[in-house]
């Protein structure tokens, strides 16, 4: 497994990879969720390239950039064991040199959900993903459904900007009790870890109601909201039943919907989601 830092080294190493290349962008501190994306990339390409970059431009001024957990030696060990051919670990100076000034904004779908709570977050995400695509020139890239709005934003950007990259989406990987795996889960104390089950459980409650025929957006959101409010360690930030691509809230669910939420458990902000009506 080759590990590179500069753009020039990356381009040289990339040029050595013949055949189809799959990219898995990460911010490091890898868990099984990331490894499942590497596996998907490997199934659809000849070589997997992974990037590790904690992207400052997608963190707000009051967010946890400096505290974001890091364990590069373990990350590299996991990527090597997973069969990754090339790892790009650019520094912030490589990605955002002096006079850096180009940004990609999406108008509509970044106004909702995470975008509404984290101004500028998706500008940072879209920009860094475009940079990764242009630098690595993958045939395909794999993202996790865990970050559902990120998936929607990247798919929209790829479509809008004619990017020659196929976007694949890996399913949410969960702990045995349903909690979605996340690098931020390490922040949870024991009682908070128990309380955090409420995210997935509220999604499943809403799904059960949907399967029983409930189609009213307010009713579906209310099921999730109530269930979360019953958990004293949880504080709901938002709950949503939205159009799966355009992300606006739905009054009535026709065929599909994206259920999603952000919940503080103690000081840790967790997100989770579920696609309703997926075949």
Nearer to a second copy, 161 or 186 (CB): 161
Q: Minimum Å distance from CB 246 to a second copy?
A: 7
- 137 touches a second copy by CB under 8 A: yes
**243 tagged catalytic:** no
Mask for 93-122, x = binds a second copy (CB under 8 A): ------xxxxxxxxxxx-------------
Closest to a second copy by CB, 108 vs 218, is 108
Q: What is the rounded CA–CA span in Å between residue 109 and residue 116?
A: 10
Q: Is the CB of 81 or the CB of 161 nearer to a second copy?
A: 161
Query: Could you say which residues in the range 142-171 bind a second copy, by CB under 8 A?
Result: 156-157, 160-164
Least distance CB 134 / a second copy (angstroms): 4
Given a contact cutoff of 8 angstroms between Cβ atoms, the answer to whether 94 and 221 are in contact is no
**What is the number of other CB atoms lying within 10 angstroms of the CB of residue 174?**
15
What distance in Å separates the CA atoms of residue 183 and residue 248, rounded to the nearest whole number? 28
Could you tell me if 79 and 47 are in contact, meaning their C-beta atoms sit under 8 angstroms apart? no
CA distances from 274 to 15, 66, 89, 207, 258 (A): 38, 30, 31, 8, 6
Q: Which residues pair with 234 in a beta bridge?
A: 265
Footprint of a second copy on 207-266 (CB under 8 A):
246
What whole-number distance in Å separates Cα of residue 3 and Cα of residue 250? 45
Q: How far is the CB of 160 from a second copy (least distance, A)?
A: 4
Sheet harboring 234-242: ordered strands across? 234-242, 257-265, 268-276
Q: Does 77 bind a second copy (CB under 8 A)?
A: no
Select the span of 70-78, 133-141, 194-202, 214-222 touching a second copy (CB under 8 A).
Answer: 133-141
CB 99 to a second copy: min, Å:
7
Helix (H/G/I), strand (E/B), else coil: 279 = coil
**Binder of a second copy out of 6, 16, 91, 134 (CB under 8 A):** 134
Which residues contact residue 270 at a Cβ distance below 8 angstroms, ignoring those fewer than 6 apart? 180, 182, 184, 185, 196, 199, 262, 263, 264
Within 10 A of 96 (CB to CB), how many other CB atoms are there?
Answer: 17
CA dist 163 and 205 (Å) reads: 38
157 or 253: whose CB is closer to a second copy? 157
Count, residues near a second copy per rule CB under 8 A:
28
Task: Output the smallest distance, CB 130 to a second copy, in A.
Answer: 6
Nearest to 140 by CA among 183, 170, 111: 170
Closer of 16 and 43 to a second copy (Cβ)? 16
Residue among 26 and 156 whose Cβ is closer to a second copy: 156
Rule CB under 8 A: is residue 206 a binding residue for a second copy? no
- List residues near a second copy by CB under 8 A: 7, 11, 99-109, 126-127, 130-131, 134-135, 137, 156-157, 160-164, 246
Give the residue numbers marked as catalytic.
34
């Amino acid at each position: 497994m080759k590990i590179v830092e500069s753009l020039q080294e990356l381009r040289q190493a990339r040029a050595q990879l013949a055949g189809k290349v799959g990219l898995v962008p990460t911010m490091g501190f890898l868990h099984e969720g990331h490894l499942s994306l590497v596996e998907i990339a490997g199934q659809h390409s000849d070589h997997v390239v992974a990037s590790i970059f904690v992207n400052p431009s997608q963190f707000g001024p009051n967010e946890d950039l400096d505290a974001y957990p890091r364990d590069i030696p373990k990350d590299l060990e996991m990527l090597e064991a997973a069969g990754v051919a090339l790892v790009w670990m650019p520094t912030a100076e490589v990605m955002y040199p002096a006079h850096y000034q180009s940004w990609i904004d999406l108008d509509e779908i970044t106004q909702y959900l995470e975008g509404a709570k984290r101004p500028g977050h998706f500008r940072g995400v879209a920009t860094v993903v475009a940079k990764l695509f242009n630098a690595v020139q993958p045939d395909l890239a794999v993202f996790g459904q865990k970050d559902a709005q990120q998936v929607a934003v990247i798919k929209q950007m790829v479509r809008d900007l004619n990017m020659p990259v196929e976007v694949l989406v890996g399913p949410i990987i969960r702990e045995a009790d349903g909690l979605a795996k996340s690098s931020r889960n390490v922040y949870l104390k024991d009682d908070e870890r128990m309380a955090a089950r409420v995210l997935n459980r509220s999604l499943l409650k809403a799904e059960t109601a949907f399967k029983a025929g409930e189609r009213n957006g307010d009713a579906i959101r209310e099921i999730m909201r109530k269930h979360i409010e019953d958990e004293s360690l949880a504080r709901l930030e938002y709950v949503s039943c939205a159009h799966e691509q355009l992300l606006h809230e739905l009054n009535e669910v026709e065929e599909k919907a994206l259920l999603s939420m952000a919940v503080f458990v103690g000081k840790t902000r967790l997100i989770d989601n579920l696609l309703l009506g997926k075949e």
